[in-house]
Amino acid sequence: MEGYDRTTYGEAFADVYDDWYADVSDVAATTSTLTELALDRRPTARVLELGVGSGRLAVPLAADHRLSVVGIDASPAMLALARDRDPDRRVTLIEGDMVADLPPGPFDLVLVAYNTLFNLTAVGEQARCFAAVADRLEPGGRFVVEAFVPDEPAPSGDVVAVRSMSTDRVVLSISRQDAARQIAEGQFVEFTEAGGVRLRPWSIRYATPHQLDAIADAAGFDLEARWADMTRAAPCDDDDRHVTVYRRRDHDRATIGARSRRS
């Protein structure tokens, strides 16, 4: 999408994000599962969330004093929401890119929550993200990826639909999907009686679970577990999302760094 960059999504959705997406995942189940994964080898752990957004997951995680939580996001508006949610400053927040600007490790667990990985739309960028994460994880550390499962075969074309409607507000969803490139993008167009028109653009490059597994393998990860959601429900063929746990192989960082440079 012309003019779209790393900050566009967060800046466009910050004012409605917690309202529109409060139920996108089970926060309590997510917090419980991630805490158990992070602490299974030692009494304290460092956790990094990519695309921390409004802090809806990072702040509850950091409420456990055993976890040191870091969150990174490219959007200043989203980070402002996270700071408001975290008055005690338990989460260390970083403004930056979730490939090029990751903080130094080592971390015990890295999380990329629902569909955030797919915000990396440039060719090869998701592979570079996996390599950067591997380089910052402890040997045996985990990368938890939560994402939707694309339809196969994926459709192509344009869709216009009504997202919501009230007496003084209408939100239209306008989207376009290119199955060959695995790109979907669109706009939520909001009309209000008082405020006129507001555009909220989004763009993703999606990947199937098998494609993510191949990227993970090349970056030095083994597939440890795959669930239907953060409750750890067993996956089914018709699931519309997955939670996958990748475990970093016990290789040295030099090996992984060399693999990253070849990606």
Evaluate whether residue 1 is within a structural domain: no
Evaluate whether residue 47 is within a structural domain: yes
pLDDT tens per residue across span 160-174:
999 999 999 999 999
Residue 92 maps to which CATH number? 3.40.50.150
The reply to whether 200 and 236 lie within a common domain is no
CA distances to 19, 23, 80, 190, 236 from 166, rounded to whole Å, are 16, 20, 29, 11, 37
The reply to whether 166 and 91 lie within a common domain is no
Check: CB of residue 180 under 8 Å from CB of residue 157.
Answer: no
The reply to whether 248 and 139 lie within a common domain is yes
Half-sphere exposure of 205 (CA within 13 A, CB side): 13
The reply to whether 117 and 182 lie within a common domain is no
pLDDT of residue 26: 94
The reply to whether 193 and 212 lie within a common domain is no
The reply to whether 228 and 245 lie within a common domain is yes
The reply to whether 128 and 189 lie within a common domain is no
Evaluate whether residue 22 is within a structural domain: yes
Parent domain of 93: 8-149+207-262
Evaluate whether residue 3 is within a structural domain: no
The reply to whether 113 and 28 lie within a common domain is yes
The reply to whether 128 and 166 lie within a common domain is no
Query: Who contacts 239 (Cβ-Cβ below 8 Å, separation ≥6)?
Result: 149, 228
The 3-state DSSP class for residue 226 equals strand
pLDDT tens per residue across span 124-178:
999 999 999 999 999 999 999 999 999 988 889 999 999 999 999 999 999 999 9
pLDDT of residue 251: 62
Bridging pattern class, strands 67-73 and 91-95: parallel
Query: Who contacts 155 (Cβ-Cβ below 8 Å, separation ≥6)?
Result: 177, 179
pLDDT of residue 1: 87
Check: CB of residue 231 under 8 Å from CB of residue 243.
Answer: no
Evaluate whether residue 228 is within a structural domain: yes
What is the torsion angle, in degrees rounded to the nearest 10, for the CA atoms of residue 119, residue 125, residue 129 and residue 130?
110
Evaluate whether residue 175 is within a structural domain: yes
Number of structural domains found in the chain: 2
Evaluate whether residue 249 is within a structural domain: yes
Cα gap 214→72, rounded to integer Å: 25
Residue 186 maps to which CATH number? 2.20.25.570
The reply to whether 109 and 184 lie within a common domain is no
Check: CB of residue 29 under 8 Å from CB of residue 229.
Answer: yes
The parts of the chain modelled with pLDDT lower than 70 are: 251-263
pLDDT of residue 258: 44
Tell me phi and psi for residue 242, to 5 degrees.
-145, 155
The reply to whether 29 and 41 lie within a common domain is yes
The reply to whether 46 and 165 lie within a common domain is no
Evaluate whether residue 2 is within a structural domain: no
How many CB atoms are located within 10 Å of the residue 158 CB?
Answer: 9
* Identity of the amino acid at 23: D
Tell the residue number behind the tokens 């909220």, with chain if given.
200
Q: Please name the helix (run of DSSP H) or strand (run of DSSP E) that holds residue 109, with its range, or none.
A: strand 107-112
